[in-house]
A and B are shown apart, each in its own frame.
Chain A
């Protein structure tokens, strides 16, 4: 093959070929190997006297130019066998004065030399560098900057067994085009590798999070067991103290015991709620689905809470715009808890002489239950926090409550209704009142139809 192989016309074809080889891979290690071998092996540059191609890249952190890869030719092997310092340890400081690579890097210009110490200074002594050059039998080395998006990222060295005057214009042009491709390919591979390693790290992190989640779940189970044991003893013995038939307690003592008992009950509810939350978040909640009249369920809650409402002198009504039944398919006990929670909240936060209404209605394919109260209302900015975990809203809404809840009730209710493909929404006006609306898909009223 003679010099005419590289003609103007074939430069483009050659570049296209080498581009294909280099861009084939996005893996950094493969790319840097391909760039130092492709030209020699695929484009016949061996026949043009090229023997060693070296890729160096700048390391911003260490402020050096690092030797990255080297052609797998016999000459390269000889040079390295002779070298006092292994190839990958030849890091040229960016501050090096007499080094041609640094000059190439800083001036973003191509240079050439017949004298290898210029390529190795100050890492190798002149003698050591000359020894390497002799071992490889190199006459000329050309350096080319690697530039991508106006930034120089490294330098390539092309070493030949011929004189500089024998390098054709076309050869140089092809090398210039080639180094542009190399710069782009290396930069892309670097970005891709960092993306790949970030993805890998994210996968790891995600995996660890899942493990932590299991641990958290175990912890909640064990902690709740350990908490419940003494709480059961406190609750049971307080109950015994309050219910001793032969014991005369003063009103004061009764009151103290009552408060202690209520507080223990609160703790027990809190633990139960935390377990429920843990189960919801691990998708461990199982619904016992059956078809039932939700109005009947609400009636049970109503009857239970009516006593408290009467005691508090709150007018409490249950009604419906449409004729019952209001059939739904779902977990009866859990939906009962949802209604109890919402109505219970209203009852807690509605002052004496206030009003609470439960109203059932059909709305297209859904059943809607409005629970309206004449409580203090909830400011707009607090509404969105209402269904979050441990949301204790800091305003007068809660000042009527003698019994703060766990802050988990509405969160749990919302999750349970979501599991039933429904939703809970809230509308409120400060000093006027609040309406919670539970919306659930209606089940057909006929027995078998789904």
Chain B
């Protein structure tokens, strides 16, 4: 299986329409297959039904917030299915400690990244995920 033949699958969870559109677009341009969720409930449904190479999860959202999504997935024992990176406008210190307990891979403050830098980060996480699964296999 190689990156050329199989598209990597990414879920973008973001309640701000403009930002979600933009993230989906730049990741599509990069050759990823991108799914999107506009709130926590939708994120939970998609994450419990599918396996993604990476989930970009917003924290402050309607219905379920990002942390509640993680909590619900853990209860349903579906948390480990997809690697998660938090993408938020919140200061890192507020959520990171709790998020690490759920095994999230990383934390990004949205405003610190240009679309290009974001894509680069995503690439890094996806490759890292490949290495991990190769090691586990």
Contacts and interface: CB of A to CB of B under 8 A. Distances in A.
Contacts of A228: 89, 109-111
Given A224-B91, A233-B16, A268 B115 contact: no
Interface in B103-137: 109-112, 114-116
A243 interface: yes
B22 interface: yes
Given A225-B60, A243-B116, A232 B111 contact: yes
A272 B89 CA distance: 11
A236 B112 contact: no
Contacts of B73: none
A243 B115 CA distance: 10
B100 interface: no
A9 interface: no
A268 B115 CA distance: 15
Contact of A225 (B22, B89, B93, B112): B89
Contacts of A279: 91, 93
Interface residues of A, number: 22
Which secondary structure characterizes the binding site on chain B?
A: helix
A424 interface: no
A240 B111 contact: no
A236 B89 contact: no
Contact of A236 (B60, B91, B93, B115): B115
A236 B22 contact: yes
A235 interface: yes
Chain B CB within 10 A, most for which of A225, A235, A236:
A236
Contacts of A271: 111
B116 A229 contact: no
B115 A240 contact: yes
A293 B93 CA distance: 27
A235 B114 contact: yes
B18 A233 contact: yes
Contacts of A268: 111-112
A224 B94 CA distance: 12
B90 interface: yes
Interface string A229-244: 1011101110110010
A239 B114 contact: yes
B19 interface: yes
Nearest to A276: B91
Interface string A325-353: 00000000000000000000000000000
A275 B91 contact: yes
A225 B60 CA distance: 9
A252 B109 CA distance: 31
B90 A236 contact: no
Contacts of B22: 233, 236-237, 240
A279 B92 CA distance: 11
Nearest to B19: A233
Contacts of A275: 91
B90 A231 contact: no
Nearest to A237: B22
A239 B91 contact: no
Interface string A255-293: 000000000000010011001000100001010000000
B93 A232 contact: no
A19 interface: no
Nearest to B87: A232
A388 interface: no
B114 A236 contact: yes
B38 to A, nearest CB: 15
Nearest to A225: B89
A110 interface: no
A225 B90 contact: yes
A78 B33 CA distance: 98
B78 to A, nearest CB: 28
Interface string A219-230: 001001110110
B18 A237 contact: yes
A243 B117 CA distance: 13
B116 A239 contact: yes
B112 A221 contact: no
A284 to B, nearest CB: 6
Contacts of B109: 228, 272
A268 B112 CA distance: 8
Contacts of B90: 221, 225
B94 A236 contact: no
Nearest to A271: B111
A239 B88 CA distance: 19
A235 B117 CA distance: 12
A154 B94 CA distance: 61
A240 B16 CA distance: 17
Interface in B3-22: 16, 18-19, 22
A231 B116 contact: no
24 contacts: A221-B90, A224-B91, A225-B90, A228-B109, A228-B111, A229-B16, A229-B89, A229-B110, A231-B111, A232-B19, A233-B16, A233-B18, A233-B22, A236-B19, A236-B22, A236-B115, A239-B114, A239-B115, A239-B116, A240-B22, A243-B116, A271-B111, A272-B111, A286-B93
Interface of B: 16, 18-19, 22, 60, 88-91, 93-94, 109-112, 114-116
In order of increasing CB-CB distance, the 5 nearest A-B pairs are A228-B89, A232-B110, A228-B111, A232-B111, A268-B111
